[in-house]
Structure 1
Amino acid sequence: MTMHVMLLTFMSMWVLAWKFHAEATYYHRQTIHHEHSANMENLLPENHLLENLLTDEVPISHPVNLSRTFYGIMFDAGSTGTRIHIYKFIQKDPVELPVLDNELFHAVKPGLSAYKDKPEEGGNTIRALLKLAKKTVPDTEWRKTPVVLKATAGLRLLPEEKADALLEEVREVFEESPFFVPKNSVTLMNGTNEGVLAWVTVNFLTGHLYAKTKKTVGILDLGGGSTQITFLPKSKKTVFTAPPSYIAKINMFNHTLQLYTHSYLGNGLVAARLATLGALGADGLDWKVFTSSCLPKKFREDWTFGGITYKVSGIPDGYAGYKLCYYEVMKVVKGIVHQPFEIKGSSVFYAFSYYYDRAVESGLIDGSRGGMVEVRDFKKRAKEVCNKMTKYRPISPFLCMDMTYITCLLKEGFGFKDNTVLQLTKKINNVETSWALGATFDHFNNLNIH
């Protein structure tokens, strides 16, 4: 494939955001799920299409024969696991838009940060996932298929030298692979981009990324190490009253959108457990036992996160339950999380990652379908879980703490009302709700997030 063809192919991928057909195949651990398909039309006006497709390096008077099928590989290196997204695109006709044909998704645990003292072993987890990519992408396409890894809060929480060692190991693994390794293919992604790109993914998949419209949905992403909130403000007061660093500009549709977005490092679900226990950044881990009224009274275990082991326990002779637990998690949220001016309004928010997982585990929603819940539903179920810890302990001894934290984060942190409706989802049109698809768009056509 010539450089002109490669360039046009890569630039064409961005345009798929305006006309979409998804058929996704998912591989969760060792379970293979059936294919699904859905149609979606997101057409951009023709002048926008031309502006996106044509560059100075591609002569418009000499049409090129595009490869019918091309791929993109995006690694999400999170705090609790590493996920690979393999996107397959089809260019059915050189003059038509490419389509997203399917996504293959697979996740492994633990995350790269668990290998902070053994970067070679961390690299081996990437090698294993690349084997899956080699089976999925035809060998004739390997040299044309870009492979990219973006690390999030797990590595942001590590000392810089340890994070750098892990990223360098991944770069070496990529260079060994048969895939195309772009410049800056392995990076530590900042929290702002994580929130913005998740917003791009969700609004694309829900069909809200039409030109000249501001009807979009907000996103709430709860990871292990950090949590993100992103939405397009309707009120200028939201922009004026927000800390300046909470407003991100993104170039789309030939004009700039101002998004309210922030990533709270240390306020992801698992990091919040440590903060609630008073263990985040603590010393003396060999002998200290961290206790909480959010845990079952008779619970005592060694618990590992980010390659560090903590001794955690309930309070055998003390009290446990929702009220005491809420008081404990409040200190992790109150005064730390900014409340946007218009958050109490009628904006629609999609919530995913641990919001979804804990809602499923506590029986709040059906795991196969997701669903809409009100903030008060999280509160009600948190009370039930905390007051019946023995019943829910087989699911997770941390379920009371997690559900209480989510309730407190939504109410005391972001300031949502009890009757605010959240759409809990894991997939939209059978594609994973994460920043990965948005990051793929950004990789092929710089969105210039700042």
Structure 2
Amino acid sequence: MDEQGEVKVKNPCHRPVFIFLAVIISLGIITMVSISVVQNKPLLQKYKYGIVLDAGSSHTSVFIYEWPAEKENNTGMVRQKHTCNVKGKGISSYSANPQKAGTSLQDCMEEAKQIIPAHRHRETPVYLGATAGMRLLKMENEVASGKVLDSVAHSLQMSPFSYQGARIISGQEEGAFGWITVNYLSENLRKATGTLGALDLGGASTQITFVPKQEIESNDNSIDFRLYGNDYRLYTHSFLCYGKDQVLKLSLADKLWSTLAVNKTDPVELMDPCFHPGYKVNKTFQSFFDTPCLNKSNTPPNKNLTHVGLGDWSMCQQSVREVFNTNLCKYSRCSFNGVFQPSVDGNFGAFSAFYFVMNYLNLTSDTLDNAKEKLARYCSTPWEKIVENHPNIKQKYLSEYCFSGTYILTLLEYGYKFTSNNWKDIRFIKKIGESDAGWTLGYMLNLTNMIPAEAPDTPLMPYGGYVTFMLLFSLLIFVLFFLAFMYFRRSTRTAQKDII
């Protein structure tokens, strides 16, 4: 009997060609998945940091800025990350005890160490810019101002950051960097769509800066910048002694001399229309004349003095106008005190004390005429009522808002020559986005041009290249799948024929 032989059919899945195709397809899929994961993983943004200390006349603020390590159009994209207000008065107040000026900064610098990542400390630049308070101290006592700067420099050098200097910046710099700040934050510089003028008011000085439509007739008031590939010629001027605190002393001293001319009694009663009716505080002559903005040789003999409020806004404005000298001008037009100023055309941002005073008085969005009417009613409000309505504000500051508001309206209208028609072009601003309006951000922006940019982390390939690669690779795998299928089908048919 014949034995039926066994027929062995070789499985096509075991053939070398099929195994090879399966391996290639598997590797292709693994490669696509790996590239997709790497391509689309979140990129860790690298940041750099900078610290600027604004040493003003009344206080010091520490601003921490951060920006991506890569830069845009050669100007760092800087944003404010943190602010710390130094306890106590401005560094110029420590002239009699300079070492305390440096000590006063330590708490805020410790705070900065916690905010900025430790691995960035050594490369983070720290700068201190002192403004009008220190300018006045230098005028009065240059040795004392030098010791104060040495004290703050020593304190900052003890920090882990990269100390880059502590100096008194000029009024022109303060105005120009304030202009850069408001225009950078408004994205005017990057878009090149026109610029915003800058109005800054501090305790000891005030600045006005803008791009004028007419020629700048005074070289002292001109400054040039190149930002985002565009050139800007700015008009800028800083009026030292015309900050709200110093001009109050100027106005009070002027009233005091007028009072002494007709009142020889002791104590002297100073009747002041810029303070609320019912306000009555004992003061000293020295408190009115302790400033280099006034001639010390012309100080009257010290007597007891009672400062009495009248709350008459019309008389107050008239007395404030007397601190401006508009009689002398050798140019085609001037602001005051013989200083050239082009006409104030275009939009302006008013910040610092401009904002804080006008915001307190709720005058930031009023017309000029409405602002005058509201301020007149406010100034005539009895002092007792003012204190009752604002129990959490120190009475010294509370008592000065009537004067400060009147001074701001008078400075803008009578000094800088704004009118009822273009009053709407002034925006009173504290912040734009998350950053404070002021000179420090402009200063930081200018300094970042000297900080080398790091190479940013980038995707494995450009997006267009990535999409093209994935399409071609998908097509290749599809072709391999098709070839494997055809090979498997043909091998199966051959095996079936062999059986038959």
Q: When the two structures are superposed, what TM-score results if normalisation uses the length of structure 1?
A: 0.72
Please give the secondary structure, in 1, of the residue aligned with 2:162. Answer: coil
1:353 lines up with 2:352 in the alignment: yes
Residue 322 of structure 1 aligns with an amino acid whose one-letter code is W
Counterpart for residue 36 of structure 2: none
1:218 lines up with 2:197 in the alignment: yes
Pairwise CA RMSD: 3.3
Larger Rg: 2
Aligned residues of 1:91 and 1:97 also touching (Cα < 8 A): no
Q: When the two structures are superposed, what TM-score results if normalisation uses the length of structure 2?
A: 0.65
Counterpart for residue 68 of structure 1: 46
Counterpart for residue 440 of structure 2: 436
Counterpart for residue 132 of structure 1: 111
Q: Per-residue CA shift, 1:79-120, capped at 9, x if unaligned?
A: 111001001223379999964465201213411112111111
Q: How many angstroms apart in 2 are the aligned matches of 1:350 and 1:261?
A: 14
Counterpart for residue 175 of structure 1: 157
Residue 392 of structure 1 aligns with an amino acid whose one-letter code is I
Measured after TM superposition, the shift of residue 334 of structure 1 is 3.7
Q: Compared with structure 1, are the counterparts of its residues 190 and 102 closer, same or farther at alpha carbon in structure 2 (3 Å cutoff)?
A: closer
Q: How many angstroms apart in 2 are the aligned matches of 1:223 and 1:278?
A: 20
Measured after TM superposition, the shift of residue 226 of structure 1 is 0.3
Q: How many angstroms apart in 2 are the aligned matches of 1:215 and 1:438?
A: 17
More strand by share: 1
Q: Compared with structure 1, are the counterparts of its residues 174 and 307 closer, same or farther at alpha carbon in structure 2 (3 Å cutoff)?
A: farther
Counterpart for residue 90 of structure 1: 68
Q: Which runs of 4+ in 1 moved over 6 A?
A: 92-98, 287-290, 303-307, 309-312
Q: Per-residue CA shift, 1:328-380, capped at 9, x if unaligned?
A: 1112224235473322x4x1011111111111221324xxxxxx443334323
Q: How many angstroms apart in 2 are the aligned matches of 1:174 and 1:289?
A: 47
More helix by share: 2
Measured after TM superposition, the shift of residue 412 of structure 1 is 0.9
Counterpart for residue 99 of structure 2: 120
1:315 lines up with 2:295 in the alignment: no
Q: Which has the higher contact order (CA 8 A, sep 6+)?
A: 2
Q: How many angstroms apart in 2 are the aligned matches of 1:165 and 1:279?
A: 33
1:412 lines up with 2:391 in the alignment: no
Residue 179 (structure 2) aligned to one of 194, 199, 218? 199
Q: How many angstroms apart in 1 are the aligned matches of 2:56 and 2:72?
A: 37
Q: Compared with structure 1, are the counterparts of its residues 374 and 314 closer, same or farther at alpha carbon in structure 2 (3 Å cutoff)?
A: same
1:332 lines up with 2:323 in the alignment: yes
Aligned residues of 1:339 and 1:413 also touching (Cα < 8 A): no
Aligned residues of 1:232 and 1:258 also touching (Cα < 8 A): yes
Q: How many angstroms apart in 2 are the aligned matches of 1:307 and 1:173?
A: 32
Counterpart for residue 273 of structure 2: 293
Q: Compared with structure 1, are the counterparts of its residues 154 and 404 closer, same or farther at alpha carbon in structure 2 (3 Å cutoff)?
A: same
Residue 260 (structure 1) aligned to one of 230, 235, 238? 235
Moved more, 133-142 or 101-110: 101-110
Residue ranges of structure 2 left out of the alignment (5+ in a row)? 1-43, 258-266, 292-301, 327-335, 451-500
Residue 275 (structure 1) aligned to one of 241, 247, 250? 250
Q: Compared with structure 1, are the counterparts of its residues 381 and 74 closer, same or farther at alpha carbon in structure 2 (3 Å cutoff)?
A: same
Residue 231 of structure 1 aligns with an amino acid whose one-letter code is F
Measured after TM superposition, the shift of residue 144 of structure 1 is 0.7
Measured after TM superposition, the shift of residue 121 of structure 1 is 1.3
Measured after TM superposition, the shift of residue 163 of structure 1 is 1.5
Moved more, 213-222 or 194-203: 213-222
Aligned residues of 2:189 and 2:228 also touching (Cα < 8 A): no
Measured after TM superposition, the shift of residue 313 of structure 1 is 4.6
Q: Compared with structure 1, are the counterparts of its residues 408 and 313 closer, same or farther at alpha carbon in structure 2 (3 Å cutoff)?
A: farther
